[in-house]
Amino acid sequence: MDATITIYCKNTHTYNEVPRGISLIELKDLLHIQLPYPIIAAHVNYKVENLDFRLYKPKDVEFLDASTPSGMRAYVRTLGMVLACAVNELYPKMDLRVEHPISKGYYCTLQWHIAKDEDLENKKEPPVITPEIVKTIKARMQSIISENRPIYEEEKQTKEVIRMFAERYNNESSIFETLGNPYCRYFRMGDFIDYYTNVLLPSSGYINVFDLVPFKDGLLLRIPNRQNPTILEDEIPQEKMFSIFQEYNRWNKLLHINNVNDFNIACKDKKSFEMIKLAEALHEKKIAQIADAIAAKRPKIVFISGPSSSGKTTFSKRLQIQLLVDGIKPEVLSMDDYFVNRVDTPKDENGEFDFETVNAVDLPFFRQQMHDLLEGLEVDLPTYDFTIGERVFRGRKLKLQKDSVLVIEGLHALNPCVLPDVSRDLTFKIFVSALTTINIDNHNWIPTTDIRLLRRVVRDYKYRGFSAQETIARCPSVIRGELKWVYPFQEEADVMFNSALIFEFAVLKRHAEPILQEVPKFCEEYTEAHRLLKFLQYFVPIPEREIPPTSFLREFVGGSSFRY
């Protein structure tokens, strides 16, 4: 066997003969790789790997810093392990739970560690988290970081891993059973063991930017800025977003679901149909409550906004029904019909059409038609023909009646510049998004963007003829547009609605896996496709026959009774 192998480094665009078995960190030093920020991981044949990963065959290697999506995910996962370890060392009778992202950080809580023979009555109430406790945990995290503790990835028989984690975390069952593998890997830092869904950094010393502050009744783990990871993300107020997450946590308790393992057990016990019925009923009740709030205010215009694949269209149709029940006649318009002709669409810094900017909408024409409608005039409504990229008129006329309300749905509907001279008292604003309502376990959260990306992959393949590779390739521009044009206005909403369903990943799994498997293994998009495929393996698939035709999920997987 040859003592050397050929490695192509994408950072230097060079082929290199290196010793077989060389680690990525050794390769980095050998090639003198320099990036704008410290190197923390690498893509090996488009899969993210730890810097301790060793190379035995010819590979393509690209080193990553924290300004890349894969690098930042590895950094934040490692930061989460440092926090979990600090809590375990300081308060061994408490469990850390990373609940969800908020305010550009992660909201965490502490819960009592309940032993099997303990009296639950004494520990129903969560521990009170004081500023002093937060300060103590942060100091221990800083100590763990300064000690530069190595982080090892280890693998043992699944039954042995289950036993180890049962002793550590008092779990009678765990996510390892769901995976169904004979061997499972986990991570160890000193005596502390934990499980994470993907690679970590080689040691705690790689963490150099973080903060931990009191937040509500818990903690906020603050992380580096994604564009400049040498500084922290700004902490922004998101009161309404936080309340939506808390509402869904309460809903999950009604379903007796705390994490993916609970969900999988319920599915295996044939309780999935019960979950579907209850989750859909909670959605319908929430939409009815929003309609009642609109009926009480009697606005002239209802604005519905939200990021791509959040279910805005289905929401507007279901809201329309509930408004009719309240005696209000809704007239639903889509801002997409007011796009400028494609040849007039603004271009981004790369010279590509920028369909995400508010300037892709013909605002003067839109404003004129809305004012005419509010004045009681009849207007000739446009329809945007996406095939030819032009606005056309097909004889759609509209004149508002006394009991009518305009319902305007679109990416930019909450942006104040859309109708700047319409009084706020005459409007009702709704922000719709798909916010993941379930975590893999206490320390592994599911990114809120994943559910929308999987929805988009399935819908674009089924209805628009786009491959998963094409959909994933467009994601960076979509995300940039949302960060600039959608999220800054979400707290302007009168109400927020979460269109995610707790059973959604288990249904999307059947549709998404074969589509993602078509992504070639030699392209940039394979990194994300591979990550999503690994993520979907945590869910037990369930049939969709019990999902009603008006469900948000039907907009993406098919079978809806609505016309889109």
Written as six digits, the tokens of 412 are 């930019």
Strand order in the sheet with 183-189: 152-157, 183-189, 192-194
Angle (CA) 233 236 241, round 5°: 120
Strands (E) in 29-161, as ranges, are 39-44, 47-49, 54-55, 59-65, 94-102, 105-112, 152-157
Q: Give mean pLDDT in consecutive 10-residue pieces for the chain, a chain of 564 residues.
A: 91 96 97 96 96 96 97 97 97 91 95 60 70 97 98 94 84 71 93 94 97 96 96 94 89 84 87 91 96 96 95 95 96 94 87 88 96 95 91 93 93 94 94 90 90 96 94 92 93 95 95 97 95 94 93 96 88
Beta bridge partners of 60: 8
Strand order in the sheet with 94-102: 94-102, 105-112, 218-222, 211-215
Q: How far apart are CA 154 and CA 184, in angstroms?
A: 8
Written as six digits, the tokens of 111 are 């819960």
Strand pairing class (218-222; 211-215): antiparallel
Written as six digits, the tokens of 491 are 């707290």
pLDDT at residue number 117: 47
On whether the CB atoms of residues 331 and 374 are closer than 8 A, the answer is no
Q: How far apart are CA 298 and CA 483, in angstroms?
A: 31
On whether the CB atoms of residues 212 and 145 are closer than 8 A, the answer is no
On whether the CB atoms of residues 318 and 287 are closer than 8 A, the answer is yes
Backbone angles phi, psi at 273, to 5 degrees: -65, -35
Q: How far apart are CA 549 and CA 321, in angstroms?
A: 14
Q: How far apart are CA 279 and CA 284, in angstroms?
A: 9
pLDDT at residue number 348: 82
Query: What is the distance, to the nearest Å, from the Cα of residue 97 to the centroid of all Cα atoms in its chain?
Result: 18
* Nearest alpha-carbon partner for 113 in 93, 127, 99: 93
On whether the CB atoms of residues 458 and 512 are closer than 8 A, the answer is yes
Angle (CA) 411 414 417, round 5°: 100
Q: How far apart are CA 418 and CA 412, in angstroms?
A: 7
Q: Which amino acid is residue 131, in one-letter code?
A: P
Q: How far apart are CA 412 and CA 458, in angstroms?
A: 24
pLDDT at residue number 167: 83
**Residue labelled with tokens 């293994």:** 521
Q: How far apart are CA 394 and CA 314, in angstroms?
A: 23
Backbone dihedral region for residue 157 (phi beyond 0: left; psi -120 to 50: alpha; all else: beta): beta
Ordered by where they begin, the domains of the chain are 4-65 (3.10.20.30), 71-235 (3.30.980.10), 240-557 (3.40.50.300)
* Nearest alpha-carbon partner for 456 in 438, 481, 434, 484: 434
**What is the pTM assigned to this prediction?**
0.91
3-state secondary structure of 426: helix
Buried b (16+ CB within 10 A) or exposed e, 445-457: bbebbbbbbbbbb
